[in-house]
Amino acid sequence: MLVIKNLEAYYDRIQALKGITIHISKGEVVSLIGANGAGKTTTLHAISGLLKHIEGEILLDGRSIKNTAPEKIVGMGIAQSPEGRHVFAPLDVLDNLRLGAYIRSDRQETARDIEWIFELFPRLAERRNNLAGTLSGGEQQMLAFGRALMSRPKILLLDEPSTGLAPLIIKEIYSVIEQIKRDGKTILLVEQNAKLALKVSDRAYVLETGKVVLSGTSSELVQSQDIQRAYLGSSVDGFLGK
């Protein structure tokens, strides 16, 4: 479904990505793991059309989307839940979700999807009329997640959904990731917490300083001694009930 070949990206004269090649098939959950500054978020920004100084190929269903405007990429089927939430603080929860569906004209289906988001995140249902800026950090993360789902994307990009959140909130968000995975949603997940990412992913790529240094199935990477030493030092088994 999504193929990235020899992707290079630059911030002014600084090269952030150095020839990344990855692919995602329909229905897969694929993770990008690595330390801060490895290039994970930059990869998502390149896919979403938020970076202009890029080289290489980005193909969605065999069609190039490189240098396509971000709003057109959303219309083609890619939606991102950004790092740091970035909800529309002056608007209430309902309007934030409606904005996630701005490319759609099917009002009845949109209304049904909002109720589906409220089933996924009951906390949002309780706060549907609250301003997004008054929500807790975890609730804002849920809202950003739900807003991305409202466009009915072919591929959902999740950028650091666990950052800065309490364990119970992380467990709730990752239970939703597992649920939509069972429903067949295709997800590219960026996560600094490698153990969390590998628990829900089919495959993963390890990034270091803008390069893919290792890839494989999640079970293979969990068993890798290099990965265990570098990324799996802290336990999160209790978060997911495993």
Say if 176 falls within a structural domain. Answer: yes
Say if 189 falls within a structural domain. Answer: yes
- CATH for 216: 3.40.50.300
Q: How far apart are CA 204 and CA 221, in angstroms?
A: 8
Last residue of a domain, one of 109, 130, 152: 152
Residues 189 and 221 in one domain: yes
Say if 242 falls within a structural domain. Answer: no
Model confidence pLDDT, tens digit, residues 36-54: 889 999 999 999 999 988 9
Say if 8 falls within a structural domain. Answer: yes
Q: Quick one: CA dihedral 235, 175, 204, 144, positive or negative?
A: negative
| Whole-number pLDDT of residue 81 | 94
Residues 63 and 160 in one domain: yes
Say if 142 falls within a structural domain. Answer: yes
Residues 72 and 168 in one domain: yes
Residues 64 and 97 in one domain: no
- Give the SS3 label for residue 205: strand
Structural domain count, the chain: 2
Model confidence pLDDT, tens digit, residues 89-141: 999 999 999 999 999 889 999 999 999 999 999 999 999 999 999 999 999 99
| Whole-number pLDDT of residue 241 | 42
Q: How far apart are CA 156 and CA 79, in angstroms?
A: 5
| Whole-number pLDDT of residue 28 | 96
Q: How long is the chain?
A: 242
Residues 140 and 186 in one domain: no
Residues 226 and 170 in one domain: yes
| Whole-number pLDDT of residue 152 | 94
Say if 52 falls within a structural domain. Answer: yes
Kindly report the number of other CB atoms within 10 A of residue 231's CB atom. Answer: 21
Q: What is the pTM of this model?
A: 0.90
Residues 166 and 60 in one domain: yes
| Burial bucket for residue 101 (CB in 10 Å: 0-12, 13-18, 19+) | buried
Angle between helices 107-120 and 137-149 (to 10 degrees): 140
Answer whether 205's CB lies under 8 Å from 33's CB.
Answer: yes
Model confidence pLDDT, tens digit, residues 206-232: 999 999 999 999 999 988 887 877 776
Q: How far apart are CA 141 and CA 143, in angstroms?
A: 5
Last residue of a domain, one of 134, 152, 170: 152
CA dihedral in degrees (84, 88, 94, 99; nearest 10)? -100
Angle between helices 107-120 and 93-100 (to 10 degrees): 120
Residues 67 and 1 in one domain: yes
Say if 144 falls within a structural domain. Answer: yes
Say if 239 falls within a structural domain. Answer: no
Residues 31 and 103 in one domain: no
Which residue has better confidence, 88 or 231?
88
Residues 174 and 212 in one domain: yes
| Whole-number pLDDT of residue 232 | 66
Residues 100 and 147 in one domain: yes
Task: Indicate if the pLDDT at residue 239 is higher than 80.
Answer: no
Residues 124 and 27 in one domain: no
3-state percent helix, strand, coil for the chain, nearest multiple of 5? 40, 25, 35
Q: How far apart are CA 157 and CA 189, in angstroms?
A: 6
Task: Indicate if the pLDDT at residue 159 is higher than 50.
Answer: yes
Last residue of a domain, one of 128, 152, 176: 152
Beta bridge partners of 15: 10
**Domain enclosing residue 175, as ranges:** 1-77+156-234
